Amino acid sequence: MNYQNFFTGALDDLRDQGNYRVFADLERHCGSFPKATARGADVANVTIWCSNDYLGMGQHPSVLGAMHDALDRCGAGAGGTRNISGTTHDHVLLEAELADLHGKEAALLFTSGYVSNWAALGTLAGRIPDCVVLSDALNHASMIEGIRHSKAERMIWKHNDLEDLEAKLAALPLDRPKLIAFESVYSMDGDIAPIREICDLADKYNAMTYLDEVHAVGLYGPRGGGIAEREGLMDRLTVIEGTLGKAFGVMGGYIAASAALCDFIRSFASGFIFTTALPPAVAAGAAASIRHLKASRAERDLQKAKVTEVRARLEALGIPHVDNPSHIIPVMVGDPVKCKYISDVLLKEYGIYIQPINYPTVPKGTERLRITPSPVHTAEDIDHLVGALGQLWEYCQLARMPLAAQ
Ligand SMILES: *Cc1c(COP(=O)(O)O)cnc(C)c1O
């Protein structure tokens, strides 16, 4: 076999299908997020409108201060896996902070949200005898991979569809172990799961619940505990999973659950045991971010105001976007070539960076620009974005929505 030809051939196929991904080479400007330098053919200053650093915590003084302090106290890396010299006091403090955030007995850290889903779901579903996993159809790749890896039986229920979930639960023996895996805020449509009703079904059919709150932690609830905190449901979930890399602005993932469940994952999950612990500075920065957002709602309030403003401005121009109850604004283009084109022109001519979202991340015909307004976007940033989108909608002759009744 000619290995190089195989690689380039596969990449050519991807390009032909319009699915080849190109990185934007960015340098974010600390202290002036969402501004960044984009390096490509030409170097340009851009405003980022698609970051998952939803609240700008990646440049927050208390986060940076904690990271500098830990770096100076402890040096760069953790120096080992959690079991072999890699558990530092910063990891212990962060896990306590997370358990408290979700009102659980314990929490367990992983190197990313992806790894936390892969390892926790893989271990739970793989080690509980005869476990069946009921997985929402739109679950994130990390959950799907974890469930696959477990080799447990898997049933996929229609997205956010309680009737379909109940039909599948009812078809299983009441005493068979079951795990319902789902998310709170789904990141591409920005819709939110009916968590209370899912927990009711879990109780009725004797199932565990596993909730991915990756796009909600830091953002919702009085202390940033997520949608389950906002709805007063945290105690009803068996496992809450989250990331430290999105609204908390740093890196890492975790689960929060009972002490026994966390200890079980700690003791059996390969993806936890056999990998170097997060650097102490990362743990300290994440803990500072969580601590800040537990006490301060200023960032959440300001983000909500910016989201409302961007939505209203798009509405006024008739630019189609998904109406949803979250902070994610999917602007619908519905054509992969135009979606990529608009994103390219926004970057090159307007200094606005929004990654196009095409198939297979979203279904064909629903290609979109996913906009995430944050407290660090200014009124001028919003004017510039909305003006640019208005011009491009005109230029590309894209459909507009009927204008809202005056
Ligand atoms: C981003 C994401 C993850 C993975 O989290 P990372 O910390 O980025 O690895 C898990 N679940 C969902 C729903 C996500 O969007």
Q: What is the pLDDT of residues 197-254, one digit of tens each?
A: 999 999 999 999 999 999 999 999 999 999 999 999 999 999 999 999 999 999 999 9
Residue 38 located in a structural domain: no
User: Mean pLDDT throughout 359-375?
Assistant: 94
The token pair that represents 38 in the structure block: 């984009």
Shared domain check, 321 and 363: yes
Q: Is the C-beta atom of 241 inside 6 A of ligand 1? A: no
Calculate the average pLDDT of the chain: 96
| CA dist., res. 237 & res. 305, Å (int) | 30
Atom of ligand 1 nearest to the CA of 115: 9
Specify burial of residue 149 (Cβ count, 10 A radius: 0-12, 13-18, 19+): middle
Shared domain for 268 and 360, answered yes or no, is: no
pLDDT of residue 405: 42
Ligand 1 site, residue 347, Cβ cutoff 6 A = no
Residues known to be catalytic: 246
- Answer yes or no: is the C-beta of 212 below 6 A from any ligand 1 atom: yes
Residue 237 lies in a domain: yes
* Centroid of ligand 1 to alpha carbon of 130 (angstroms): 27
CA-nearest of 204, 220, 202, 127 to 157 is: 202
Looking at the structure, do residues 240 and 123 belong to the same domain, yes or no? Answer: yes
Going from the C-alpha of 207 to that of each of 143, 160, 173, 174, 187, the distances in angstroms are: 17, 17, 11, 9, 25
Residue 191 within a domain? yes
Indicate if 370 and 284 belong to the same structural domain: no
pTM as predicted: 0.96
Does residue 343 belong to any structural domain of this protein? no
Whether 113 lines ligand 1, by a CB cut-off of 6 Å, is yes
Q: Tell me how far the alpha carbon of residue 400 lies from the centroid of ligand 1, in angstroms.
A: 32
Write out the two tokens for 87.
Answer: 């558990």
Contacts by 316-321 with C-beta closer than 8 Å and gap 24+? 316/403, 316/404, 317/386, 317/389, 317/390, 317/393, 317/400, 318/400, 318/401, 318/402, 318/403, 319/389, 319/390, 319/393, 319/400, 319/401, 320/399, 320/400, 320/401, 321/371
- Is 26 contained in some domain? no
| Residues 227 and 375 placed together within one structural domain of the fold | no
Give pLDDT tens digits for 41-98. Answer: 788 899 999 999 999 999 999 999 999 999 999 999 999 999 999 999 999 999 999 9
Q: Compute the distance from residue 115 Cα to the ligand 1 centre, in Å.
A: 9
264 and 140 in a common domain: yes
Query: How far is the centre of ligand 1, averaged over its atoms, from the C-alpha of 225 (Å)?
Result: 16
Q: Is the distance from the beta carbon of residue 217 to the nearest atom of ligand 1 less than 6 Å? A: no
Question: From the centroid of its chain, how far is CA 15?
Answer: 26
Can you state the percent helix, strand and coil of the chain, rounding each to 5?
45, 15, 40
Best CA proximity match to 176, nearest among 114, 130, 222, 232: 130
Cross-strand pairs, 400: none
Assigned domain for 117 exists:
yes
Is the shortest distance between the CB of 372 and ligand 1 below 6 Å? no
Residue 13 lies inside a defined structural domain of this protein: no
Q: Are residues 322 and 287 in the same domain?
A: no
Q: Residue 12: inside a domain, yes or no? A: no
Distance from Cα 118 to the centre of ligand 1, integer Å: 11
Predicted pLDDT of residue 271 = 98
Burial (CB count <10 Å: 0-12, 13-18, 19+), residue 294? middle
Q: Ligand 1 pocket: which of 136, 243, 326 to mutate (most atoms <8 Å of CB)?
A: 243
Q: Are 313 and 269 contained in the same domain?
A: no
**For ligand 1, atom 13: residue with the closest CA:** 140
pLDDT at position 156 is 98
Residue ranges making up the domain that contains 401:
297-327+352-405
Indicate if 304 and 218 belong to the same structural domain.
no
Report the chain's terminal Cα–Cα distance, integer Å.
Answer: 66
At 235, list the tokens.
């105690």
Between the CA of 69 and the centroid of ligand 1 the distance, in Å, is 27
> Whose C-alpha lies nearest to ligand 1, atom 5?
113
What DSSP state is assigned to residue 322? -
Choose one of 140, 145, 182, 192 to mutate for the ligand 1 pocket test, by most ligand atoms within 8 angstroms of C-beta.
140
What are the tens digits of pLDDT across the range 11-52? 999 988 878 888 999 999 999 999 999 998 788 899 999 999
- For residue 330, what are its two tokens? 């999917």
CA of 144 relative to ligand 1 center, distance in Å: 12
CA distances from 127 to 122, 124, 169, 179, 261 (A): 8, 6, 20, 12, 12
Which residues are CB-neighbours of 55 under 8 A, at least 6 positions away? 218, 219, 247, 249, 293, 299, 300, 303, 374, 375
Q: Which of 107, 153, 144 is nearest to 126 (CA)?
A: 153
Distances (CA, A) of 104 to 100, 101, 179, 272, 289: 6, 8, 18, 20, 19
Measured CA to CA, the distance from residue 336 to residue 179 in angstroms comes to 36
Tell me if 366 CB under 6 Å of ligand 1. no
Q: Does one domain contain both 377 and 235? A: no
Number of domains forming the structure of the chain: 2
Q: Indicate whether residue 142 lines ligand 1 (CB < 6 A).
A: yes
Same domain, 188 and 263: yes
**Nearest atom, ligand 1, residue 245 CA:** 7
Please name the residues in contact with 185: beta carbons below 8 A apart, sequence gap of 6 or more. Answer: 191, 192, 213, 215, 216, 220, 227, 326, 327, 328
Amino acid identity for residue 215 in this structure? H
Q: Is the CB of 183 under 6 A from ligand 1?
A: yes
> Which residue, 278, 295, 312, sits at the end of a domain?
295
Q: Contact, 176 vs 249, CB < 8 A?
A: no
Which atom of ligand 1 lies nearest, measured to the CA of 187? Answer: 15
331: tokens are 């602007």
Query: pLDDT tens digit string along 120-145?
Result: 999 999 999 999 999 999 999 999 99
CATH code at position 193: 3.40.640.10
123 touches ligand 1 (CB under 6 Å): no
Which pLDDT belongs to residue 403?
56
Distance 119 CA to ligand 1 centre (A): 13
CATH of the domain at 359: 3.90.1150.10
| Bridge partners, 241 (sequence order) | 212, 255
In what helix (H) or strand (E) does residue 126 lie, and over which residues does it extend? Answer: helix 113-127
Atom of ligand 1 at shortest distance to CA of 186?
13
Same domain, 264 and 378: no
pLDDT over 60 (residue 404): no
- How much distance in Å is there from the Cα of 219 to the middle of ligand 1? 15
Q: Is the CB of 224 under 6 A from ligand 1?
A: no
Collapsing DSSP to helix, strand or coil, 371 comes out as: strand
The beta strand positions in 131-252, using DSSP E, are 132-136, 153-157, 178-183, 208-212, 239-243
Helix or strand run (H / E) with residue 35: strand 35-39
Token code pair at residue 138: 């739109």
pLDDT-above-70 percentage for the chain: 99
Q: Is the CB of 117 under 6 A from ligand 1?
A: yes
